[in-house]
Structure 1
């Protein structure tokens, strides 16, 4: 079974305007609102690809209830922990000449709530997959992913981490099954600006030396690089298409990789499946659907 954890679920409110005029009233041309947060996105795309998962995390208030209702309406399984105060985030995705994100703050997660999450996770067993994805709210330690991995080390769970900076670096010593930084996040970890694919390969291997079993680096329109635990370095160009929405593309890549891995237990196929799935989401106003993914996959296999 695949489990995803989202510490800060949200409602993604996407709005399109022809031309954004600051300081004036702007009329929206179209809009939609969907449940979001990186782990939830992974669960949605896995569902679209035909794989079940259990979405875990924390929700609160009227927005939290709406997140849970929409997740269930999509046919996903979830077991969210309900907080007593505050409201889950609303993140505004403004589509104009350029994409602009305005992300909400979200409620406070207390120690008693974390203990409930630990109790849920301690039920995981060998061959389960756990996806720890996204940022954490203020007040939660940047070592939380590391602590979760420490608690589960005897359970032999495959753990995927999609996070940034210290949240990612802190888990490397615990040997996660897969990490997925993008090229900009990779540069931030090492305090450099990465401009060449050779640099991406070099620093991805550094993360592997620091403990990660497999490293998947997304590069938006330039494709992706994958360093496998078997020592192979794979590269793929992005499929051709028009990018209309970058939200969730990285999460979709993680979901596609896992779907491909579970289908064939082959890293090269999983990598290509990840690239195709990430691109399918980028080329659509919503997260990737299976038919879209398989069409793109044919172009890069």
Structure 2
């Protein structure tokens, strides 16, 4: 079974208008509301790919109820911790001649509610996959990722971490099965400017030396590079297409990698599926569907064996 954790889910309220005038009344031309959060995105894409999974995390208030309703209506299984105080955040995204975002802070989470999440994590079995994705809200301890991975350290659970900066760097010592930094995040982690494939490979291998088993680096339109635990380097250029939505593309790549790996434990197949799924979401207004992924997968080059 696959489990995803989203620590700070949201309702994403997306507004479209031709021009946005600061300090004036603006009227939207279209609006959409989606459940948001990196782990939730991974769960929804996995569902689209036919992979059963359970979404975990914290939800609160009327917004939390709506997030759960929407995720359940999508067809995903959920087992969220219901917090007693506050509401899950609302993120406002304005799409106009320029894009702007206002992200909510999220609710306060008590020690008792954190303990309840750990009790749910204790039900995860050996060889299951756990995805920890996204930032830690200010109301949680900064070492929450570390605490979870240390707690599960000896249980042979495959842990996937999609986080940034120090949050990612501090958990690599717990030997996550997969991490997925992008090129910019590699630069930030090591305090350098990662310019080309040689730099990507160099610093991805450094993350392996620290402890990560497999390092998948997304490079937007340039494609992606995977250094697998057998020290094989997999490279692929991004397929050609019109980018309509970059939100969720990285999460989709993670979901695609997991779905591909589950087919026969093959890293090359997982890599191809990850690239196809991330690109399919980027080329769509919504998260990638199985049909869109398979169409792109059919045109991606296969590595000769």
TM range (shorter): over 0.9
Q: Distance in 2 between matches of 1:142 and 1:114?
A: 13
Tell me what 2:198 maps to: 198
SS in structure 2 of the partner of residue 300 of structure 1 = coil
Contact 1:109 1:137 in 2 (8 A): no
Q: Distance in 1 between matches of 2:99 and 2:295?
A: 27
Contact 2:107 2:139 in 1 (8 A): no
Q: Distance in 1 between matches of 2:249 and 2:235?
A: 18
Tell me what 2:58 maps to: 58
Tell me what 2:297 maps to: 297
How far does the alpha carbon of each residue in 1:56-101 deviate from its partner, in whole angstroms, 9 at most, with x for none?
A: 0000111001001111111110011111111101112222223322
Q: What is the CA-CA distance between 1:23 and the residue it aligns to? A: 2.1
Contact 1:128 1:157 in 2 (8 A): yes
Contact 2:161 2:168 in 1 (8 A): yes
Alignment map for 1:126-165 (pairs within 5 Å): 126-165=126-165
SS in structure 2 of the partner of residue 43 of structure 1 = helix
TM-score under structure 2 normalisation? 0.96
Tell me what 1:173 maps to: 173
Q: What is the CA-CA distance between 1:216 and the residue it aligns to? A: 0.5
Q: Distance in 1 between matches of 2:89 and 2:19?
A: 26
TM-score under structure 1 normalisation? 0.98
Alignment map for 1:233-272 (pairs within 5 Å): 233-272=233-272
Q: What is the CA-CA distance between 1:146 and the residue it aligns to? A: 1.4
Q: Distance in 2 between matches of 1:4 and 1:148?
A: 13
Q: Distance in 2 between matches of 1:236 and 1:128?
A: 28
Tell me what 1:15 maps to: 15
Q: Do structure 1's residue 189 and structure 2's residue 186 form an aligned pair?
A: no
Q: What is the CA-CA distance between 1:141 and the residue it aligns to? A: 2.1
Kindly report the root-mean-square deviation, in angstroms, between the aligned alpha carbons of the 2 structures: 1.0
SS in structure 2 of the partner of residue 100 of structure 1 = strand
Tell me what 2:42 maps to: 42
SS in structure 1 of the partner of residue 258 of structure 2 = helix
Aligned length: 301
Runs of at least 5 residues in structure 2 that lack an aligned partner in the other structure: none
Q: What is the CA-CA distance between 1:24 and the residue it aligns to? A: 2.2
Tell me what 1:274 maps to: 274
In the TM superposition, structure 1's runs of 4+ consecutive aligned residues that sit over 6 Å from their partners are none
Q: Do structure 1's residue 211 and structure 2's residue 211 form an aligned pair?
A: yes
Q: What is the CA-CA distance between 1:297 and the residue it aligns to? A: 1.1
